[in-house]
Chains A and B, each alone.
Chain A
Amino acid sequence: MNARTPVGLLLAVLALSACQQRALLPASNAAPLLPPAVAYEAHEAAGGRVPPGGTLRNPHQGDPAVAANGALLFTTMNCDGCHGPDASGSVGPNLAVRRWRYGGADAEVYMSIFYGRPKGMPAFGGALGEEGVWTLVTYIRSLPKVDNLATESWEKP
Chain B
Amino acid sequence: MMNTKTSQKIAFSALLAVTLMVILPVLIIIIIIIREGISAINWQFIASMPSNGMRSGGIMPAILGTIYLVVLSVAIALPVGVLAAIYLNEYAKDNLLTRVIKLSIVNLAGVPSVVYGLFGLGLFVIFMKFGVSILSGALTLAIMELPVIITTSKEALNSVPQSFREVSLSLGVSRWKTVRHVVLPHALPGIMTGTILSIARIAGETAPILFTAAAFYVPRLPNSVFDQVMVLPYHLFIISTQIPNMPKNLSYGTALVLLMLVISMNLAAIVIRTYFRKRKKW
- The answer to whether A and B belong to the same complex is no
Q: B residues engaging A (CB < 8 A)?
A: none
Q: A residues engaging B (CB < 8 A)?
A: none
